[in-house]
Amino acid sequence: MHSSRMPFMATRWGIILAGGVIGLIAALLQKLGNPPNMGVCVACFSRDVAGALGLHRAAVVQYMRPEIPGFVLGSFLAAIIFGEFRSRTGSAPIIRFFLGLFAMIGALVFLGCPWRALLRLSAGDLNAIVGLLGLALGIGGGVWFLKQGYSLGRAYQEKATGWVMPLFMLGLLLMVLFKWGHLFYSEKGPGAMFAPVLISLGAGLLIGFLAQRTRFCTMGAVRDLILTRDSHLISGIAALVIVVFVYNLIFGQLSFGFTGQKIAHSSHLWNFLGMILAGLAFSLSGGCPGRQLFLSGEGDSDAAVFVLGMIVGAGFAHNFALAAKPDSIVDGLLQVGGPGVNGQVAIAIGLIFCVIVGFVMRERWEEK
């Protein structure tokens, strides 16, 4: 429940404000140096963090994005201030880890998390429509499993584990601010494109704070719309899209079409299937990538395990050539990108894993 000390954030106007602010921040971060249509992307930023830590050696996507620790620490601060920090764990952590891993693989086949899909749509990238349809279908599959009794079991409150992820993220942040340790940084490509560190950190902290107060979540928005026809959360999603669209319109950054889009590919089948996998994994784990980071800041260690799964999944995706390649122009001809055979096989394995988890983790089966 929302604290009575900040009741506005629980209202529809509160979630609309949060969505609008997140959209504006994403647009401004892009203007200040973040990659095109990637002002805020949890999957892409987690991939860059994995690269900075040396978990993969794709030289063009290595950067310790301050936004990621900011999301967790912003949520942590909000939860502490409003008395909502609850250290809890024990809800099928190993399954959540692999759901995070496969969610990341699906997102990197599409080349973006749900937030980036919305940013791409707001800039005219029609491939985002294909991805969002896949995302909705994947979430719909998760909703079906929920109706059949799917559950990863209850988490239990305890004293210590909820502090681990905020402290880990604080450690990563200190490494960036004080240049401790040996982090890997890209010299070219998306990893070499970033807004100033303190601005990125401030943006992450503000987004984490707002999202914690409003429960902002793209997966939850679609799930609630399907399950109960509740449009509360999706109002915030609509606000994000509208704000970024208006921003792009004002600054002449709209480019409608499937081809020639920035850091994207037009292989429709794999855009669709990649986001089906991501949406199904998000739904089975209870939240989109951003929501998992915010929950980990509230003390939810199960969400933290999902986040670690995403980071490891990013390492797998680039070490084993699972991530998609963007479209490119070679000798004046369009070369359609997308995943190679390894990525296509990984999507199939991920879908099989998620479906098995959906069927096996059903309380009705346990009762029988």
Distances (CA, A) of 180 to 57, 77, 130, 171: 20, 24, 42, 10
Structure tokens at 32: 């200040």
Residue 151 in any domain: the answer is yes
Distances (CA, A) of 41 to 111, 114, 161, 289: 10, 8, 27, 9
Q: Which residues are within 8 A (CB) of 86 and not within 5 positions of it... i.e. 6 or more apart?
A: 79, 157, 162, 298, 299, 300
Q: For position 149, what pLDDT does the model report?
A: 95
357 or 91, higher pLDDT: 357
Residue 64 in any domain: the answer is yes
How many domains does the chain fold into? 1
Residue 28: give the domain boundaries. 7-367
Task: Examine the pLDDT at 368 and tell me if it is beyond 60.
Answer: no
pLDDT in tens, 301-344: 999 999 999 999 999 999 999 999 999 988 889 999 999 999 99
Q: For position 1, what pLDDT does the model report?
A: 40
| Nearest Cα to Cα of residue 71 among 296, 312, 314, 305 | 296
Task: Examine the pLDDT at 2 and tell me if it is beyond 80.
Answer: no
SS3 content of the chain, % helix, strand, coil (to 5): 65, 5, 30
The pLDDT of 29-35, averaged and rounded, is 96
pLDDT in tens, 128-184: 999 999 999 999 999 999 999 999 998 898 888 999 999 999 999 999 999 888 899
Residue 1 in any domain: the answer is no
Residue 290 in any domain: the answer is yes
Residue 320 in any domain: the answer is yes
SS3 338: strand
Q: For position 5, what pLDDT does the model report?
A: 63
DSSP class per residue in 65-116: -THHHHHHHHHHHHHHHTT----EE-S-HHHHHHHHHHHHHHHHHHTS-HHH
Q: Are 153 and 89 in contact (CB under 8 A)?
A: no
Residue 112 in any domain: the answer is yes
pLDDT in tens, 257-270: 999 899 999 999 99
Q: State pTM to two decimals.
A: 0.94
Burial (0-12, 13-18, 19+ Cβ within 10 Å), 319: middle
Residue 252 in any domain: the answer is yes
Average pLDDT of the chain is 94
Helix (H) or strand (E) holding 156: strand 156-157
Q: For position 3, what pLDDT does the model report?
A: 45
Q: For position 364, what pLDDT does the model report?
A: 53
Query: What's the rounded Cα separation, in Å, for the pair 312 and 71?
Result: 19
SS3 150: strand
Distances (CA, A) of 59 to 50, 51, 52, 108, 186: 12, 8, 10, 16, 6
The pLDDT of 212-227, averaged and rounded, is 94
pLDDT in tens, 52-85: 999 999 999 999 999 999 999 999 999 999 999 9
The pLDDT of 2-23, averaged and rounded, is 84
Q: Where residue 275 falls among pLDDT bands split at 50, 70, 90? A: very high
Q: For position 8, what pLDDT does the model report?
A: 85
Q: Which residues are within 8 A (CB) of 148 and not within 5 positions of it... i.e. 6 or more apart?
A: 358, 362, 364
Task: Examine the pLDDT at 367 and tell me if it is beyond 50.
Answer: no
**Cα 250–chain centre separation:** 27
User: What's the sign of the alpha-carbon dihedral 209, 210, 213, 215?
Assistant: negative
